Amino acid sequence: MRVFNLDPLDLVRYHGQALLWDRAVRGALAVAGPSLLGVALGEPELGLIATLCALWPWINDLGGDLKDRLINMATSGDAILLGGLLAYIAGADYWAQLFVLFLCAVAIGWVHNTSRALENAARCMGFSFVIAATLHLASPRLIVPAILGSAWAMAVAWIDHLIRRQYSVETGGSVRKGLAHFWGPHAADWRFGLRYAIAAALGLGLAIHFGATHAAWVTITTLAVMRPNDSESVQLVLQRAFGTLIGVGTALAIVSLSHNPWHLTFAAIALAFLISPGMMWQRWSGFAAITAMALVLLDMALLTEGGDRPLLSERIYDTALGCAVALVTTWVIFPSRWRRSARANPAS
């Protein structure tokens, strides 16, 4: 039995694909450096910022030539800073935030079919803007940990190359190829760009209207799961929702066992190790690892305020709202079935 073209058994089926354990080690190291340093220095909040800014460039390490790998990662780091700068410019004004988010989302949708690396970097810009704007984190004091986090992730990739001089699998195109494609034969899908922007703005507006504690989670979920193809968006929504449930449960179990910052840090490192194999096996397991890791790190950063346990149930609510926004806009605004119908019945 298939639901939305998805066999429920696919959620646990292994198809023999490579799980990229070497990439998992680099992910764990990328998270370990800044998070351990933050705890050691008594600055877990800055450690959290640096860790997130190391995680995103690591995600954009997609294989291939070392130069391309480092350019991909550096571009993600630059995109994070650009998103923070845009949040600083928008300030606390709701309409300014909405306008800038709309422009960011149009840019993300515009480059979605150039290369995976360039699209990932554009999404980093959008995610960074949403987090910095909605959580009021656009502060010059965060520039240094953001740069150090990105530089650390690039150093891990460079040292790994010096030691092993290989990458197990190439999993995506480079930023350079994406830019060449964008300025060359790229055929922009303006419908998806516009739909993506409307979904992002709608997600932020609804999150604020319904009083979501963290509007960023709603908007980031919408940006993360929405794709040009209807069925792909639905499958990502289901995988994201299921992964979030598992991730929240995992984080709850971890923070219930200990609030020691060192224990939480090592738990986050272990979860970071599971992200890459999880994404290759089943995306929901990768989403679960990312969700649990982020919540554990957030709990560590909020220890002086009693931790983040009250936020765990809110994460489920915010994710559900973000998924709903993505589904509605996918089906209502320029749905791909219109394009299929137009191809099936061309104008005479």
What's the gap between Cα 307 and its chain centre? 23
Q: pLDDT confidence of 127, banded at 50, 70, 90?
A: confident
Residue 105: CB partners within 8 Å, gap ≥ 6? 126, 193, 196, 197, 199, 200, 201, 223
Domain ranges of the chain: 8-338
Q: What is the predicted pLDDT for the residue at 121?
A: 92
Residues 75-98 have pLDDT tens digits of: 999 999 999 999 999 988 888 888
Q: What is the predicted pLDDT for the residue at 130?
A: 85
Which residue type does 218 have?
Answer: V
Q: What is the predicted pLDDT for the residue at 70?
A: 93
The percentage of residues in the chain with a pLDDT greater than 90, rounded to a whole number, is 23
Q: pLDDT confidence of 125, banded at 50, 70, 90?
A: very high
Q: What is the predicted pLDDT for the residue at 54?
A: 95
3 bridge partner residues: 6
Q: pLDDT confidence of 309, banded at 50, 70, 90?
A: low
> Rounded to an integer, what distance in angstroms lies between the CA atom of residue 197 and that of residue 111?
13
54 bridge partner residues: none
- The answer to pTM > 0.85 is no
Residue in 310, 83, 89 with CA at minimum distance from that of residue 219: 83
Residues 313-325 have pLDDT tens digits of: 677 777 777 777 7
> Rounded to an integer, what distance in angstroms lies between the CA atom of residue 125 and that of residue 198?
17
Q: Which two structure tokens, joined as six digits, stand for 252?
A: 């709850």
Residue 304: CB partners within 8 Å, gap ≥ 6? none
- SS3 call for 136: coil
> Rounded to an integer, what distance in angstroms lies between the CA atom of residue 77 and that of residue 16?
33
